Amino acid sequence: MRYTYFLLILLSLGLLIYLSSCDKTSYATDPDDKLLFSVDTLQFDTIFSSIGSTTKYFQVYNPSNTKAIIIDKVYLAKQNQSNYRININGNQAILQEDITIPPGDSIFVFVEVTIDPGRNEMIEHDSIIFITNNNIQDIDLVAFGQDVVLINGNIIYSDTIWTNTKPVLIYNSALVDTFASLTIESGTNVYFHKGSSLFVKGTLTVNGTTDQPVSFLGDRLESSYSEIPGQWGAFNTDENNNVKGIFGGIHLLAGSRYNQIDNAIIKNGIIGLQVDSVVTPGTPSLVISNTTIENMNVACLYALGAHVEAHNCVFANAGQYTLACVIGGKYSFIHCTMANYWTGNRQSPQLILNNYYTYSGNSGQSMLELRDLTQAYFGNCIIYGNKELELGLDLVTEAETNFFFDHCIIKSNNEINTDNPQFFNQIVLNQNPKFINISSPYDYHLDTLSPAKDAGDALISSPFPLDKDGQSRLTDNNPDLGAFERIE
């Protein structure tokens, strides 16, 4: 028995010695023990008023490999007056205390900001203060803010004018109703939040100028987003939220009429501009001029049985079509540049003409619906890109197929006979137009050695003597092809 008690005592003493010998966490308490940060300033690019920013973050490091460090306090300098919000280890508060960082470890600090509507300042400043071992360290917070006209799922029922006094932000899409008109004045910037479109049942008038175009862009203004497509445009979904179709970013719905777009920049969406079927016989659904539509996931201009007249326009870089004129219609494109140097896996020609559509009949069999292509005229245009075939003719002879390419550069293979005078006249085939730059930043002006120089017909140019830049086309031998006249 005595032996058993002795053994128990020895075991207890051993356990106490073992526990007392275990390494206890030691803490850095010297004022020289400071935190390290992954940034010294956390900067947000332009944030629109009343709309929260994207979340940004930085890391806070404990540089010691042997001692933990305790952050006594972390807080926003403006505290309750701050427009910023911080989150540390899942806890959101303007003040947090006693945060331990183990040896050699780090924590993440997440930050968001909202700019108050009506503010005059363009910059929102604050800082996050860290107090550790009587040291005060801080991270500066900087956001560039703008007040905007916020259109949040609005229906525009009466005639409305958007001016360049403030940017316009479309959030959750917007609709111009049947008997209403929307006029957008020169220099106005219209921004779209992800998944948003501008739908038009009535009339849209865009009055940009050469010096002050109207821009339609996504609302991510960070420089890293300047050339990223697919940032805006709404989806058509079913009851299970499955995507059934894609709307145009600017979508002129069936019934929309008398639309005019002059000097606009439409960029970085899914489908830039979609024009649905004609409702005013003899009158264009859309007249578009001096406008650039570029960098779209699917199509720049997508017209379905519409009546569109365009001149001095650039349709550039799309995952499928820079220009799609489908389900018939009536079209005129004069001095337009269609250039597609999409870097992804593009399967289709950039320009397609079509005069039918298919649907499933009652028996499930595929049915063909014919729609006349009453006119598709291309005069003094450039149609060129990085595919072997950039012109697609998806036409059936049972419906009207009235198209004509007159004095154009076309990139094509042997599938299309560009010598046929019924459809083609004075075609410059497969000659590189020599644009200034076909990679970012893209520039579709002509190089001095371009075969498009002086290759146009002055009669075609006569209604449009000025190019997209406002330069005269008629001062030398002949006009150049495309939207831009080469000025030496």
> Hey, where are the domains in the chain?
36-145, 147-461
Query: CA 197 to CA 189: how far, in whole Å?
Result: 15
- Structure confidence at residue 20 (pLDDT): 46
Digit-coded pLDDT (tens) for 82-139: 999 999 988 888 899 999 999 999 999 999 998 877 666 668 899 999 999 999 999 9
Phi, psi of 345 (to 5 degrees): -90, 80
Tell me whether domains 36-145 and 147-461 share a fold.
Answer: no
pLDDT of residue 51: 81
Residue 474 has pLDDT above 70, yes or no: yes
Q: What does the pLDDT read at residue 118? A: 67
8 Å CB contact between 404 and 423? yes
- 401 pLDDT more than 50: yes
| Inter-residue contact 168 to 189 (CB < 8 Å) | yes
Q: What's the pLDDT tens digit per position in 337-392?
A: 999 999 989 999 999 999 999 988 777 788 899 999 999 999 999 999 999 999 99
Residue whose C-alpha is closest to residue 462's, from 334, 336, 338, 375: 334
Residue in the structure block whose two tokens are 């540089």: 63
**46 or 35, which is more confident?**
35
126-148, pLDDT tens digit by residue?
Answer: 999 999 999 999 999 998 877 88
Give the neighbor-by-neighbor strand order of the sheet with 36-37: 36-37, 56-61, 106-113, 84-88, 91-92
Q: What pLDDT was estimated at residue 241?
A: 74
What is the Cα–Cα distance from 85 to 77, expressed in whole angstroms? 11
CA–chain centroid gap for 238, Å, is 24
- 78: confidence class by pLDDT, cuts 50, 70, 90: very high
pLDDT tens column, 58-73: 999 999 999 999 999 9
pLDDT of 239: 75
Mean residue pLDDT across the chain: 91
Confidence band of 18 (pLDDT split at 50, 70, 90): very low
Q: What is the pLDDT of residue 1?
A: 47
Between these two residues, 146 and 221, which has the higher pLDDT value? 221
Cβ proximity of 65 and 183 under 8 Å: no
Q: Tally DSSP H helices, then E strands, for the chain.
A: 2, 44
pLDDT (0 to 100) of residue 12: 53
Residues 42-56 have pLDDT tens digits of 998 778 877 878 789
Residues contacting 398, CB < 8 A, separation 6+:
370
Tokens of residue 398, six digits = 């049972």
Q: Which of 224, 244, 219, 223 is nearest to 234 (CA)?
A: 244
| Rounded CA separation 482/444 (Å) | 9
How far is 38 from 111, CA to CA, in rounded Å?
14
Average pLDDT over residues 250-266: 96
Q: What are phi and psi of 169, to 5 degrees?
A: -115, 120
Cα gap 261→85, rounded to integer Å: 41
**CA-CA-CA-CA torsion for 272, 217, 264, 478, nearest 10 degrees?**
-70
Q: Who has greater pLDDT, 294 or 23? A: 294
Q: CB count, 10 Å around CB of 56?
A: 16
* H-only helix segments in 327-416: none
Q: Which residue's structure tokens are 């709404």? A: 234
CB 110 within 8 A of CB 171: no
In DSSP terms, 42 is beta-bridged to: 141
The CATH classification number of 147-461 equals: 2.160.20
Say what the pLDDT of residue 199 is: 98
Q: Say what the pLDDT of residue 17 is.
A: 46
Rounded Cα distance, 306 and 336, in Å: 18
pLDDT(330) > 90 = yes
| pLDDT of the residue at 29 | 87
Task: Give the model's confidence band at 284: pLDDT under 50 very low, under 70 low, under 90 confident, else very high.
Answer: very high
Both tokens assigned to 229: 């497509």
Residue 19 has pLDDT above 50, yes or no: no
Residue-wise burial string across 223-239, b where 16 or more C-beta atoms lie within 10 A, e elsewhere: eeeeeebebbbbeeeee
CATH of domain 36-145: 2.60.40.2310
Confidence of residue 21 (pLDDT cuts 50, 70, 90): very low
Q: What local confidence, expressed as pLDDT, does residue 360 receive?
A: 83
